[in-house]
Amino acid sequence: MSDDKKVALFVTCLVDLFRPAIGFAAVELLEQAGFKVDVPLNQTCCGQPNYNSGDRSATRTVARGTIDLFADYDYVVIPSGSCGGMLKQQYPSLFDADDPMQKRAEQLSSRVYELSTFLMEKTTLKIAARCNKTVTYHDSCAGLREMGIREQPRELLQQVDELKLKEMNDSDVCCGFGGTFCVKYPDISNNMLENKIRNIKASEADCVVAGDLGCILNIEGKLHRNGEPIPVYHYAELLVNRTDARD
Amino acid sequence: MQVTSDQFVKVSDKALHDSKLQASMSFLGMGLSLRRKLAKEGLAEFDTLRDEARDIKDHVLQNLDVYLQSFEEKVEASGGHVHWASNAGEARDIVLTICQGVGARTVTKSKSMVTEEIELVPHLEAHGIQTVETDLGEYIIQLRNEKPSHIIAPAIHLNKNQIAETFFEHHSKIGFNEKLTERADLVAEARQILREKFLAADVGISGANFLVADSGTIVLVTNEGNAELTTGLPDTHIVVTGIEKIVPTFEDVSTFVRLLARSAVGMEISSYTSFITGPRRRDDRDGPTNFHIVLVDNGRSDMLGTEFQDMLRCIRCSACLNHCPVYLSVGGHAYGSVYSGPMGAVLTPQLSGIDKAGHLPNASTFCGRCEEVCPVRIPLPKLMRHWREKEFEKHLAPSALRRGIIVWGWLNRFPLLYRVAIAFAARFMHLFGSTKGEWMTNLPGIASGWTRHRDMKVSRSGSFMSQWKKRT
């Protein structure tokens, strides 16, 4: 069923370093869907930290490397709305219209998918997982507003046996991560994060699910600091029953 | 414009610990975002109107000179006078000269952000002209000698009790000795005092929401009726507004009016929408005999043709403030500018220089809610990012962060080196995890901002790439 399409996983720097399990969960889902997955070793960060810090020139250099590296794949799948947004929406805006790189950035953009969107649109995968928990889903900002991810992960989660999805209030309001924002303005970030934690607790869910590691680390770190025994997962982890072995 | 945005961290810290402010902000955030959502859902063509509004403004900005000239001709033809002010100082002097020319002693004013921007009121007062703000929120903060903390709800940072105290402190000096507690009583007292001012005023000053190029009409969108008394009773009416407020026709005004109140407060239309063309005509029973319009540039034309041009579409509705989690955390005063929230984070650096306002475009998670609700579809995060680029070019960003970003960018140019660095960091986490447990609670340097409020779970498995290499 994979009709010989070449699929690459863009791991993202955060998953590579902090939660490799999410990368392996993504690979497993793509393999379940019938694809052979390539993970090009020479991939790096997508360049978003530089881009959002105003370092456009370094961002262009990173983008060129990524565009070259993934030139021959039919699909580039990313387990992150934020990094996905960077490759899909922002890369094309980095280059002038007369720069040949611009066209190549557009070409890459058309082949980039965030994982849940890819699974819903390009595969007929039926989720075979079980989770006897009530979960609440946090919409990551870039995933929601740059990549239009709202229903996809929710629909996938609904396929998990025994899983109950319970919406929290303001699930689409920022958790306060914001890349470097959370270390530049830690107290404002914390205020936003505390609002998020309040809404999570009010939902009475057993665990939180999100699709971006930035939000996951942020929310999970705060819950731990507060002594709340509420785990935070990437949806891919739940979809392959990987909620125990976290690292 | 006096800008104190360099104090952003200090003032926002105070704001985060101000429980009254936090209560006001939480009320604002929940109330207005819900009301806007309902208003949007009640108008099927809402998003189409947003596209139209964006296109009208873009067209005007492409042809601004033509429309401004047309507007000027129509105003003059209707008996009014147009004055051009290239900066704040010129605008203040023009208004002062007009006021002095008619021997004004008392001036009433309706709400106008441009007059806040050019600091008009202190200038008139310094020249002995009593200038009374008649919008209730503006009146309250004038008594308290504060700046607006929100572009349409200037006193949103205050609660009822604070306002009651302010009224008692000031009004008891003019014979109102009762301590009021009810909202309606507070409003009635302010109305009674302001009525006297309306009747005594020699000049009324207003802003304008829209300027209609093909008729020379100014459009005022308000809820309290104070603007009608300000513009209709005194013998002289001065409009002070920005050059970007032009729209071509009445038909275009209707597009914006349908968007404005819905975006701002979730109302289908505001209580008052007034169209004023020129001074009193021969058969008119009331209205001013002198009608002046001061068109203020003050840095606006510098934005034309630049990456910031889209900002000139702004109709000052405040939807971006009402939906911004950063604004709702710290309130408007933290921004140190009369323009706060996402629109202020783009506009203030233009008016004051990025060196003075660098915090504002940086204090954003780029969550994108502002752009999502903007009635004229201004890509606010993108514009804030452009300011960060200017800051980076000028070496204004904080040096530790700047160095970190440069090193990261450099590392990403060499995939092998990058992979080694990630593997090394993963190895460090593994060691840390094996000896000190799986949570980091006290990180050094820039990362201390993280552990100030939250922990970081370590990964003990090594990097994804090192594991993947073993698998293949």
Tell me the torsion sign for CA atoms B162, B165, B167, B169.
negative
The residue range of the domain holding B461 is: 400-471
Tell if the CB–CB gap between B385 and A55 is shorter than 8 Å: no
Q: How many Cα atoms sit within 13 Å of B9 on the Cβ side? A: 10
pLDDT at A92 exceeding the cut of 60: yes
| pLDDT per residue as tens digits for the range A222-237 | 999 999 999 999 999 9
| pLDDT per residue as tens digits for the range A172-199 | 999 999 999 999 999 999 999 999 999 9
Query: In this structure, are B162 and B97 located in the same domain?
Result: yes
Q: Which of residues 104-143 of A touch B (CB under 8 A)?
A: 141-142
* CA distances, A97 to each of A103, A152, B204, B380 (Å): 8, 33, 51, 22
Q: What is the CATH number of the domain that holds B202?
A: 3.40.50.10420
d(CA B68, CA B61): 10
- CB burial class (10 A; 0-12, 13-18, 19+) of residue B133? buried
Specify the residue for token string 């004055």: B83
Domain presence at residue B355: yes
* CA distances, A152 to each of A147, A159, B399, B424 (Å): 11, 11, 41, 35
Tell if the CB–CB gap between A55 and B406 is shorter than 8 Å: yes
Which pLDDT score, from 0 to 100, does residue A3 have?
64
Q: Does B401 touch chain A (CB under 8 A)?
A: yes
Q: How many residues does chain B have?
A: 472
* CA distances, A70 to each of B148, B174, B382 (Å): 51, 75, 26
Query: In this structure, are B274 and B355 located in the same domain?
Result: no
Q: Report the amino acid identity of residue B11.
A: V
pLDDT band at A104 (very low <50, low <70, confident <90, very high): very high
d(CA A190, CA A134): 26
d(CA B29, CA B393): 35
Domains in chain A: ranges and CATH = 7-122 (no CATH), 134-239 (3.40.50)
Tell if the CB–CB gap between B425 and A23 is shorter than 8 Å: no
Strands (E), B39-113: 81-85, 106-109
Name the residue among B208, B221, B206, B205 with its Cα closest to residue B254. Answer: B221
- CB burial class (10 A; 0-12, 13-18, 19+) of residue B128? exposed
d(CA A125, CA A31): 10
Residues of A in contact with B410 (CB under 8 A): 58
Which of B341, B362, B397 is the endpoint of a domain? B397
Structure tokens, B372:
């999502």
Tell if the CB–CB gap between B454 and A61 is shorter than 8 Å: no
Across the A/B interface, how many CB contacts are shorter than 8 Å? Answer: 209
What's the total number of domains in chain B? Answer: 3
Q: Chain centroid to CA B392: how far?
A: 25
Residues of B in contact with A216 (CB under 8 A): none
| Strand partners for B239 | B206, B293
- What are the residues whose beta carbons fall under 8 Å from the beta carbon of A214, sequence distance 6 or more? A14, A82, A140, A177, A179
Query: How far off is chain A from B329, nearest CA to CA, in Å?
Result: 7
Query: In this structure, are B260 and B367 located in the same domain?
Result: no
Structure tokens, B256:
């914006």
Structure tokens, B194:
């302001």
DSSP for B294-343?
EEE-TTHHHHTTSTTGGGGG-----HHHHT-TTHHHH-SGGG-SSS-HHH
Domain presence at residue B314: no
Q: Report the amino acid identity of residue B201.
A: A
In chain B, helix, strand, coil percent, each to 5?
55, 10, 30
Query: In this structure, are B331 and B362 located in the same domain?
Result: yes
* CA distances, B335 to each of A70, A173, A247, B11 (Å): 42, 21, 42, 8
pLDDT band at A246 (very low <50, low <70, confident <90, very high): very low
Which pLDDT score, from 0 to 100, does residue A71 have?
97
- If you average pLDDT over residues A131-160, what whole number do you get? 97
Query: In this structure, are B100 and B230 located in the same domain?
Result: yes
d(CA A190, CA A196): 10
Name the residue among B414, B289, B17, B144 with its Cα closest to residue A65. Answer: B414
Domain presence at residue B103: yes
Domain presence at residue B156: yes
Structure tokens, B222:
């308000």
* CA distances, B462 to each of A16, A42, B427, B467 (Å): 9, 17, 6, 7
Domain presence at residue B33: no
Query: How far off is chain B from A165, nearest CA to CA, in Å?
Result: 23
* CA distances, A48 to each of A12, A200, B442 (Å): 11, 28, 26
Query: In this structure, are B78 and B125 located in the same domain?
Result: yes
Domain presence at residue B36: no
Structure tokens, A34:
């019938």
Please give chain B's pLDDT, 472 residues, in tens: 889 999 999 999 999 999 999 999 999 988 999 999 999 999 999 999 999 999 999 999 999 999 999 999 999 999 999 999 999 999 999 999 999 999 999 999 999 999 999 999 999 999 999 999 999 999 999 999 999 999 999 999 999 999 999 999 999 999 999 999 999 999 999 999 999 999 999 999 999 999 999 999 999 999 999 999 999 999 999 999 999 999 999 999 999 999 999 999 999 999 999 999 999 999 999 999 999 999 999 999 999 999 999 999 999 999 999 999 999 999 999 999 999 999 999 999 999 999 999 999 999 999 999 999 999 999 999 999 999 999 999 998 888 889 999 999 999 999 999 999 999 999 999 998 889 889 999 999 889 999 999 999 999 889 999 999 998 6
Which of B397, B417, B444 is the endpoint of a domain? B397
| Residue A100: how many other CB atoms lie within 10 Å | 8
Helices B136-144 and B160-171 pack at an angle, to 10 degrees, of 60
With beta carbons less than 8 A apart as the criterion, state whether A2 and A35 touch: yes
Q: Does B392 touch chain A (CB under 8 A)?
A: yes
Domain presence at residue B310: no
Which of B397, B420, B446 is the endpoint of a domain? B397
Query: In this structure, are B254 and B344 located in the same domain?
Result: no
* CA distances, B262 to each of A208, B137, B155, B212, B313 (Å): 34, 20, 20, 21, 17
Phi and psi, residue B127, nearest 5°: -100, 20
Query: In this structure, are B439 and B385 located in the same domain?
Result: no
Q: Does B367 touch chain A (CB under 8 A)?
A: yes
Query: In this structure, are B154 and B250 located in the same domain?
Result: yes
With beta carbons less than 8 A apart as the criterion, state whether B94 and B294 touch: yes
Query: In this structure, are B221 and B288 located in the same domain?
Result: yes
Q: Does A65 touch chain B (CB under 8 A)?
A: yes
Which pLDDT score, from 0 to 100, does residue A43 have?
97
In chain A, helix, strand, coil percent, each to 5?
50, 10, 40
| pLDDT per residue as tens digits for the range A204-214 | 999 999 999 99
Which pLDDT score, from 0 to 100, does residue B1 have?
80
Sheet of A134-137: strands edge to edge? Answer: A164-165, A134-137, A207-210, A232-234
pLDDT at A61 exceeding the cut of 70: yes
Q: Does B462 touch chain A (CB under 8 A)?
A: yes
Query: In this structure, are B334 and B362 located in the same domain?
Result: yes
pLDDT band at A247 (very low <50, low <70, confident <90, very high): very low
Structure tokens, B24:
């006001």
Tell if the CB–CB gap between B464 and A15 is shorter than 8 Å: yes
Q: Does A16 touch chain B (CB under 8 A)?
A: yes
Tell if the CB–CB gap between A179 and B365 is shorter than 8 Å: yes
DSSP state of B283: T
Query: In this structure, are B346 and B453 located in the same domain?
Result: no
